[in-house]
Amino acid sequence: MGPTLLHLQLSVSVDSLQFFRSNSVPRQVIKKVFAKLENEFEGTLARNAITEIDHKLLDPFVLLVEFSFSLSAGFPDHPHRGFESVTYILQGGIIHKFPNGDKSTIRAGDVQWMTAGRGIVHSEFPEHEVNNGLQLWINLPSIHRMIEPKNLELSSSEIPRAEEDGVEVKVIAGESIGIKSPFYTTTPIMYLDFTLKPGSQTHQTVPKCWTAFAYIIDGDEGVFGSLNSSAISAHHVVVFGPGDLVSVWNKATSEPLRFLLIAGEPIGEAVVQSGPFVMNSQAEIDVAYNDYQNAKNGFEMATCQRLQ
């Protein structure tokens, strides 16, 4: 390819990108919350990044928690109904077991995508002394809430990734930098793990009608939404307003910025979360508890029918 043609193509590409950005609506930060570290149970620490008060603002997302627990901790058999969960391991490993005898371990960089649907029972125990990760709960619309459960595990090597101009992204769901995840969810979402080198920036398109937020894993000089905004540090949730473009800059001179950019199509239905269940009403929650305690309607394989 001759230098003149190459220069022309690069010029057209840059001009097209500038045109696109000039016609986009940047999403500004409308809320930021620090997820403080709390003792959940003995040996278990958690940062609750999304709580019940955020359900309407962050529809379709119900919960996001960054967790860490020791070998002495873990969660014996327990049920879920009415949502999908994404468990993303940052350090260590988590062993999952199901009453039917299935067993698997996800380790650093791996993802478990579990559709609870009408009912699923599993246990979670640490594999190493130090274990750290994130779990996201995604609501299901009422027409899909009682679908058959399923479990998908993605190794780190199966997750597409791309790198460009000091920006690296792992595309767990959705599309970024020309790379598209082959995995789809019942409720359409985008789940991107970005790492920005010092001084770099990224501009990610997000569907206008979708809810969008970021969770900062590492870094203290992240600027979100507008270049003139104040820097935001690790363990903050950053909620974006309307628009179709999320811009992020790493203002640090020596430290990378790592964050999750998560977006999804709102469901627009009433949501009630109680313990391990997510439904549309308290009456449906009561039915879920009754079904589990009586080992029926999706919980036939339950071995422990008592919830605290």
Q: CATH top-level class for 27-264?
A: mainly beta
Is residue 55 annotated as involved in ligand binding? Answer: no
Q: Which of these, 259, 38, 20, 275, lies nearest to 137 by C-alpha position?
A: 275
Residue 307 CA: distances (Å) to CA of 119, 141, 255, 277, 300: 15, 25, 44, 12, 16
Q: How far apart are CA 64 and CA 138, in angstroms?
A: 9
Q: Are strands 175-176 and 236-240 parallel, antiparallel or unpaired?
A: unpaired
Domain extents in the chain: 27-264
Q: Would you state the pLDDT for residue 95?
A: 92
109: left (phi over 0), alpha (psi -120 to 50) or beta: left
What's the pLDDT score for residue 60? Answer: 97
Q: Which DSSP category does 158 fall into?
A: G
- Here the tokens at position 35 are 């997820």
Tell me if residue 290 falls in helix, strand or coil.
helix
Q: Which amino acid is at 268?
A: G
Half-sphere exposure of 173 (CA within 13 A, CB side): 23
Backbone angles phi, psi at 199, to 5 degrees: 85, -5
Q: What is the pTM of this model?
A: 0.89
7 has binding-site annotation: no
User: Annotation-wise, does 96 bind a ligand?
Assistant: no
Per-residue pLDDT 10s for the chain (308 aa) are 444 433 333 333 344 344 345 588 999 999 999 999 998 777 788 999 998 888 989 999 999 999 998 877 778 889 999 999 999 999 999 998 888 888 889 999 999 999 999 999 999 988 888 889 999 999 999 999 999 999 999 999 999 999 999 999 999 999 999 999 988 889 999 999 999 999 999 999 999 999 999 999 999 999 999 999 999 999 999 999 999 999 999 999 999 999 999 999 999 999 999 999 999 999 999 999 999 999 998 898 776 555 54
